[in-house]
Structure 1
Amino acid sequence: MVHIRELDPSGSPLAYYGYELRRAREAAGLTQGQLGSIVFCTGSLIGQIETASKVPQRELSERLDAALGTGGLFSRLVGLVLRSQLPSWFQPYAEMEARAAYISTFQAQLIYGLLQTEAYARAVLGTRDNGDLDSKVAARLERQRILDAEHPPVTWVVLSEAVLHQQVGGREVMREQLGHLLDLQRRRWLDIQVLPFDAGAHAGLMGSFNLLRFEKDPDIVYTEDFVQGHMTANPEAFKEGSVRYDHLQAAALSLDDSAALVARVMEERYGSNPKPVGHNMA
């Protein structure tokens, strides 16, 4: 384990967080064990964070701010730390996603990351590599904070019906996830449509894609393959993506019928009987 005094606070967001935590703890005259007792964790965990060998979570960061009187420092830093845990090829997209005024996404296989529950995200991210899975899940959940911002992006999601039937993480996980989709239908700036199986051949057969629009920056199209993501601001590519998305929206079920289908799959496939959520037009 690298000694804390050897940490370069400019080396990474995680190193800077650890450096500042040790400085604030020592200024408060607390040992690692004493601080851990105050914020309901072990002194060992405090030590691991201070040596940049453990990624802090948001809830703990908020408790650290309260305990050390740091004015929200660690609550601000943890966002940078968690974003740094995303795959390097994905980080540019996450930064653009957080700045977008409008997000349109078609998902052929999975629930969109911004809409995933913690359990669903854990099942998805743990399919190939369980290494530091907690940090990966925390980073994905951190992305979702943009939906709770004072001015959230207008977000339109089209899901293939296959996404509802693909059992990710087991029945309990899927039941919770589909219930979460129904709850999200209550949000003013978020709409979810389902593209039913009987739509036949459609404009999304080539795979999932996202469109991001901005108030000032050029609009972009984002796609992924099994290795990495691809982002372009090419106007012709964005025009093609926009036309495809318009066709997908037209072929998808209405908002209310989509919610009813989610509820039906939730009941029939995963053993629950929710009440479909009527779309809030306010």
Structure 2
Amino acid sequence: MTHVNVLDPGASPLDYYGFELRRLREAAGLTQRQLGDILNYTGSLVGQVETARKVPTPEFSERVDAALGTGGLFSRLVVLVLRSQLPAWFREVAELEARATEICTFQTHLVHGLLQTPAYARAILGVFDKDDLDDRTAVRLARQRIFEKGEPPVFWLVLSEAVLRQEIGGPAVMRQQLAHLLSFEGNPRINVQVLPFVVGAHPGTQGSFTLFRFTADPAIVYTEGYGSGDPSANPNAVKDCSLRYDHLRAAALSLKDSAELIRRVMEERYGEQRDSGGDPVA
């Protein structure tokens, strides 16, 4: 357990965040409990953040900034904190997501992390390891804040129909996740296409991949394995995957037809089952 008196602000972004929170709270003459009351959090949670035992969320940080008048310090710092909590091999990818002007991804088994709901992400992250599940879920969802930028990236997702039918977390979680995908209808910056089963063999049979494009820098292709990732700027690899992606997008259903398929699967496969009296069946 980290003790507040020996917390090293240079050890990590999380330690620095906790050190600054304690310093500014004390400068304001507030106890942990008093600050917690102002923030509508417990004093215990404030203490855990101050001792680097709990990862702060963007919402927590915004409230701290408002309560202590820090001019957005903690809202800026939490971005670094959350990124530092990602697996080491994935941090470079998170940086690519934050810098890209266009992200094109093909997914064979799961909804991409940038469009996952909290319950869906939690179900995936908790399959083998339920330790610190709240924090790990918050860290994954924090990546989605790239869509809140003044000039967010264009995001194009092509996903196999299998993703819609692979039940993750139960029917209610899937219903919510598919509804979330449908919420982007009409958003020109977030596009979702489904590659239906009837296509058969296709250029993405070797697995999922993501293309990142930038204003000035060369494009990068990213592929992922178990506990590892491989970003590459090799021109031949980028060219090959770009061509594959163009063919996948052409073979996929249109945006409108994709939405109709998502809606149909959501209603037919994950719709609420009711008894004869009209009440939901557990």
Interval containing the TM-score (normalised by the shorter chain): over 0.9
Correspondence for 1:119 = 119
Correspondence for 1:158 = 158
Correspondence for 2:42 = 42
Correspondence for 2:197 = 197
How far apart, in 2, do the equivalents of 1:2 and 1:198 lie?
55
Q: Assess if the C-alpha contact under 8 Å between 1:101 and 1:154 holds in 2.
A: yes
Task: Out of 156-165 and 45-54, give the one that drifted further.
Answer: 45-54
Task: Out of 2-11 and 131-140, give the one that drifted further.
Answer: 2-11
Correspondence for 2:132 = 132
1:161-200 → structure 2 map (5 Å cutoff): 161-200=161-200
How far apart, in 1, do the equivalents of 2:157 and 2:129 lie?
28
- TM-score (normalised: structure 1): 0.94
Correspondence for 1:254 = 254
**What is the root-mean-square deviation in Å for CA atoms of aligned residues?**
1.0
Unmatched 5+ stretches in structure 2: 273-282
Give the partner amino acid of 1:130.
Answer: K
How far apart, in 2, do the equivalents of 1:137 and 1:20 lie?
24
Correspondence for 1:275 = none
How far apart, in 1, do the equivalents of 2:46 and 2:100 lie?
35
Aligned length: 272
Correspondence for 1:58 = 58
Query: 1:25-79: CA deviations, max 9, x gaps?
Result: 0100011111111111221211111111111111111111111111111111111
Tell me the CA shift for residue 6 of structure 1.
1.3
How far apart, in 1, do the equivalents of 2:185 and 2:137 lie?
23
Tell me the CA shift for residue 80 of structure 1.
1.0
How far apart, in 2, do the equivalents of 1:85 and 1:185 lie?
32
Q: Counterpart of 2:140 in 1: which secondary structure?
A: helix
Tell me the CA shift for residue 3 of structure 1.
2.1
Tell me the CA shift for residue 5 of structure 1.
2.5
Task: Out of 4-13 and 153-162, give the one that drifted further.
Answer: 4-13
Runs of 4+ in 1 over 4 A off after TM superposition: none
Unmatched 5+ stretches in structure 1: 273-282
How far apart, in 2, do the equivalents of 1:113 and 1:185 lie?
18
Identity of aligned residues (%): 64
1:1-282 → structure 2 map (5 Å cutoff): 1-271=1-271
How far apart, in 2, do the equivalents of 1:192 and 1:183 lie?
10
How far apart, in 2, do the equivalents of 1:57 and 1:213 lie?
28
